[in-house]
Amino acid sequence: MYESVPHAGGVLHNYVNGQFVSSDTTFANINPVDGSEINQVAEANADTVDAAVTAARQALEGDWGKMTLEARCALLHRVADGIEARFDEFVAAEMADTGKSFEQARTIDIPRGAANFRIFADLVKSQSSECFQTPTPDGRGALNYAVNKPLGVVAVIAPWNLPLLLLTWKLAPALAAGNTVIAKPSEETPATATLLAEVMHEVGMPVGVFNLVHGFGPGSAGEFLTAHAGVDAVTFTGESKTGSAIMKAAADGVKGLSFELGGKNAGIIFDDCDFDEAVNGTARSVFTNGGQVCLCTERLYVQRSIFDRFVEALKQKAEAINIGWPLDENTDMGPLISHKHRDKVLSYFDGAKADGAKVITGGGVPVFGDARDGGAFVQPTIFTGLAENARIVREEVFGPVCHITPFDTEEEAVALANNSNYGLAATVWTSNLQRAHRVAQQMEVGIAWVNTWYLRDLRTPFGGVKLSGVGREGGVHSLNFYSEPTNICIKL
């Protein structure tokens, strides 16, 4: 089924100082659709990571650091062109690693992966800086202005749910701002990052500007990279617990940090909503990509007068989801990323049942009677009936699941939604304009959607509060993180 997957049956290598580098240790890259091995991956050791950091530092102080902004941006446009020239290879690799549908990979993941380079290459040309005329006692005055410089060597650690899209979401602004990078993709999804290294090589990216290391977290490439004294900043998207570990590793060097972490996102559905739009939008926000998106909604609060009707309508949507092969045009949802992650998700399902939850639909593993039974699939699942302190209501599951609770008043809904250690995103469904503004502004999150979900303007700030992250990404917010302003004061 995946005959066109690049490097199938071979080895995915690290990319350091302009060369593809092997390793004495490899690990298997597994297809989550049927459990088969796609290829082997070279695991970077401490020496390989050190060589990557050294190469990045030399490039920063060499040709890359001397390159004009126009030349740098033109090169990033060539990277985008290079991704598009090998579009089918990227799509096949993304599907093989994640099991997501052909439709999603070709319309979202790979196009956005290319577009990120163009967006930030163009945006950095208009990056502004402050300038002040300052009075002085002698009346002559002074001029204060800031110039933006690169942070330096940046470690970019990307997750497995949107592998190319989220990797380039960090890489593109880091490179546009003049930094050099060492990228570490998730061990679950190494393929498109390796293809990107090939594109970087093909378009003539200067040696050492982009480096790629494969491996795991503790005791592997992730730990070697985040604790390395030669790394100036770390940007990471993933679990909150991993973010905490990275923060500790980076503390001694007082490194710059940008984290987009987990979410236990709430959706509030008022009885004055457009019912069909709310049901359709909520079905998307719960089950898209098998619930494996940090922005997915796992907690739903529905006004009591429409509670039963809404639960039944969402149940019908969940049961209509077609779970299938990535290349099947009728497929709506693929597998979870791995058997290990499926075991985690199923443990939450079992815990919810033990706590007395009512299973509205799902709660188990689908049976296909073909090779997919060796994959990591779970059923779209809806629970009701649990208290707010239940584990599945408090902790991020990262699967196709939600728990639905009724509420009576607006104040109660706001309190329930904000009663979380996380604060990434929220959705509000109402036709009352005043309520929409009032409730959205009370949400303790980084992004609040009203009558929609996953609608993004890439110029806007994106990130979370509480356990959901540190800092903001998107537009100038990304460029500001990857830039170090130096104030220059000139006496006139």
The answer to whether 237 and 166 are in contact (CB under 8 A) is yes
For residue 3, name the pLDDT band (cuts at 50, 70, 90).
very low
pLDDT at 298 over 80: yes
The answer to whether 45 and 16 are in contact (CB under 8 A) is no
Task: Identify whether residues 194 and 330 lie together within a single domain.
Answer: no
pLDDT at 342 over 80: yes
| Three-state secondary-structure class, residue 93 | helix
Q: Residue 177: phi, psi to the nearest 5? A: -80, 0
Residue 442 vs residues 75, 114, 261, 446: alpha-carbon distances, Å:
43, 36, 21, 11
Task: Identify whether residues 309 and 452 lie together within a single domain.
Answer: yes
Question: E strands within 127-272?
Answer: 131-134, 142-150, 153-157, 180-184, 210-212, 233-237, 256-260, 265-269
Asked, for residue 127, whether it belongs to a domain, the answer is yes
Asked, for residue 3, whether it belongs to a domain, the answer is no
Asked, for residue 89, whether it belongs to a domain, the answer is yes
Please give the model's pTM, rounded to 2 decimal places: 0.95
Asked, for residue 6, whether it belongs to a domain, the answer is no
Catalytic residue among 94, 188, 260, 298: 260
pLDDT at residue 6, as a whole number: 74
Task: Identify whether residues 284 and 251 lie together within a single domain.
Answer: no
Percent of the residues in the chain that have a pLDDT greater than 90, as a whole number: 95
| 421 alpha-carbon distance from chain centroid | 19
Catalytic residue among 43, 73, 89, 294: 294
Q: Which residue has the tokens 């929409």?
A: 436
* Distance, CA of 316 to CA of 312 (rounded, Å): 6
Instruction: Find the CATH number of the domain harbouring 346.
Output: 3.40.309.10
Average pLDDT of the segment spanning 280-295: 98
Number of Cβ within a 10 Å radius of residue 452: 13
Asked, for residue 4, whether it belongs to a domain, the answer is no
pLDDT at residue 128, as a whole number: 85
Task: Identify whether residues 243 and 332 lie together within a single domain.
Answer: no
Task: Identify whether residues 326 and 245 lie together within a single domain.
Answer: no
Average pLDDT of the segment spanning 203-232: 97
Task: Identify whether residues 222 and 277 lie together within a single domain.
Answer: no
The answer to whether 15 and 199 are in contact (CB under 8 A) is no
Task: Identify whether residues 206 and 269 lie together within a single domain.
Answer: no
**How many structural domains is the chain composed of?**
2
pLDDT at 218 over 70: yes
Task: Identify whether residues 372 and 403 lie together within a single domain.
Answer: yes
Active site residue 294: yes
Please give the residue range of the domain that contains residue 80.
11-261+468-491
Task: Identify whether residues 278 and 237 lie together within a single domain.
Answer: no
Asked, for residue 5, whether it belongs to a domain, the answer is no
Instruction: Find the CATH number of the domain harbouring 59.
Output: 3.40.605.10
Task: Identify whether residues 439 and 481 lie together within a single domain.
Answer: no
Task: Identify whether residues 337 and 225 lie together within a single domain.
Answer: no
The answer to whether 148 and 485 are in contact (CB under 8 A) is yes
Percent of the residues in the chain that have a pLDDT greater than 70, as a whole number: 99
Active site residue 239: no
Asked, for residue 275, whether it belongs to a domain, the answer is yes
Asked, for residue 451, whether it belongs to a domain, the answer is yes
Task: Identify whether residues 209 and 71 lie together within a single domain.
Answer: yes
Q: What pLDDT, in 10s, does the model give residues 476-488?
A: 999 999 999 999 9
pLDDT at 408 over 80: yes
Average pLDDT of the segment spanning 57-76: 96
